[in-house]
Chains A and B, each alone.
Chain A
Amino acid sequence: MARQTPLYEAHKKLGGRMVDFAGWDMPVQYAGLIPEHEAVRTAAGMFDVSHMGEIEFRGKGALEEANRLITNDLSRCADGQAVYAGLLNERGGFVDDVVAYRFNPEHIFICVNASNTQKDFDWMAANAKTVKPVNRSADYAQIAIQGPKAAGIVQRLTSTKLSDVGTYRFTQGQVANVECIISRTGYTGEDGFELYCPPKDAARLWFALLEEGKGDGCIPCGLGARDSLRTEMKFALYGNDIDDGHTPLEAGLGWIVKLDKADFIGKSALEAQRKAGVTRKLVGFELTEPGIPRAHYPILKDGQKVGEVTSGTMGPSVKKAIGIGYVPAALSAEGATFHVEIRGRPVAARVVKTPFYKKP
């Protein structure tokens, strides 16, 4: 039996088409993937991301403890700042990719993927030395509102001055009289917020945002649009583009790894890999012949399998068949060509600059 978020009834009421996602009953679309995708690029869209997990470290040494588990460096952040980071195993592979929030050095809040919540919590609990993690996932619903109109919509519902909350910054305040963590983060490539609130208030916040945003063209969006929006940005999806067998250096996420900070799990493996050089890289490519790349399709060079597609779609904004996949380092430069095997047929592809989508 799939789990339901506090917004399940809201999705039903709004005509969301529900599917099982990581054990959760989630809306894959409402009006349709393409209008939802377009709304986020040009106006605003809302996503229920309550299925995501939240894990907290609190008390003396919380920052040091969390910092030993993730690749990015919370000691270099200000209070009220969040960072994207890897949670790695000893081999440098991803246990998960996370966003870590620094409330203060004694309060670190980490948002993790729904499918990994229990695994991440167990991993953190097993590796935490002094400050133990607390799984707060049941205490938070989360609504993402994304798009060029998102900030204006949220601003009309809060007395918090949002112009003071920069990208990857957060604060606490009321939105539509609901107590929230107001975080200027997202997974779409657009400006916007992710609002963490008590589950009992989630529907009230959802409908308040929807009502306030109506005149701006704000609509509810499903997981389908979330996936096409993030693919156009080449944002990694755990389980597709990154997993426990791939490192941040291979995934092109060297920028979230701070090798000059104090020790963290996976650091020595990454140092060794950096020294030796990565042999495969995650690249973005477009097809130059008809077809659409999909996850798990083989990548071929001279008829031999040399890699695999990890994500792919027809990008609704870029209007091209785009894909992400691991290829040998020698094939990773912009302009490099290879083939993607689609139903037994090789289809030509070319490595392109990412993100695929650039704001007009």
Chain B
Amino acid sequence: MSNYPSDLKYTKDHEWAKKTGSAVAVGVTWHAQDALGAVVYVELPKVGAQVKAGESFGVIESTKAVSELFAPVSGKVVKVNQDVADNPGAVNDDPYKAWLIEIEPANAADYDALLDQPTYTKLLESAT
């Protein structure tokens, strides 16, 4: 069932973000994977790529649809989760374990400005 951990940050585009040391791990929320349905393909950037907050960094596809992935913060990609690229269904199994990339943020304040859990869940409620 729907699940939005309180120790994560969120975007209006349904990504989650979590601090892991100096980097920020990024994935998609429970709502995103539920709306997509079975995830069958994930296209991620290469380590070293620059991403910009609010802009596309990759693509996630279900059997029926293609959706873009949007970066929560600007910075450099320092890690890519090849396990999820190889087994995209992991996103449905547990969207919070299935991180996609880690970003070294250019500006640490970007992270703090993301939505907190109550704000994100309120946004979901108002959208349905």
Contact = CB atoms under 8 A, between A and B. Distances in A.
A272 to B, nearest CB: 39
A258 B18 CA distance: 64
Contact of B41 (A32, A33, A227, A290): A290
A316 interface: yes
Nearest to B35: A17
Nearest to A37: B63
A290 B41 CA distance: 8
Interface residues of B, number: 11
B114 to A, nearest CB: 26
B40 A292 contact: yes
B37 A29 contact: yes
A231 to B, nearest CB: 10
B106 interface: no
Nearest to A313: B63
B66 interface: yes
Interface string A272-313: 000000000000000000111010000000000000000001
A33 B61 contact: no
Contacts of B37: 29, 32-34, 224
Contacts of B59: 343
B64 A313 contact: yes
B41 A34 contact: no
A314 B66 contact: no
B63 A228 contact: yes
Contact of A294 (B38, B40, B43, B66): B66
A314 B37 CA distance: 13
Contacts of A321: 41
Interface string A25-51: 000110011100100000000000000
B61 A34 contact: no
6 A-B pairs with least C-beta separation: A314-B40, A34-B38, A224-B64, A33-B63, A292-B41, A33-B37
Given A291-B41, A292-B61, A343-B59, 17 more contacts: A28-B64, A29-B37, A32-B37, A33-B38, A33-B63, A34-B37, A34-B38, A224-B64, A228-B63, A290-B41, A291-B43, A292-B40, A292-B66, A314-B61, A314-B63, A316-B63, A321-B41
20 contacts: A29-B37, A32-B38, A33-B64, A34-B38, A34-B63, A37-B63, A224-B37, A228-B63, A228-B64, A290-B41, A291-B41, A292-B40, A292-B41, A294-B66, A313-B64, A314-B40, A314-B41, A316-B63, A343-B43, A343-B59
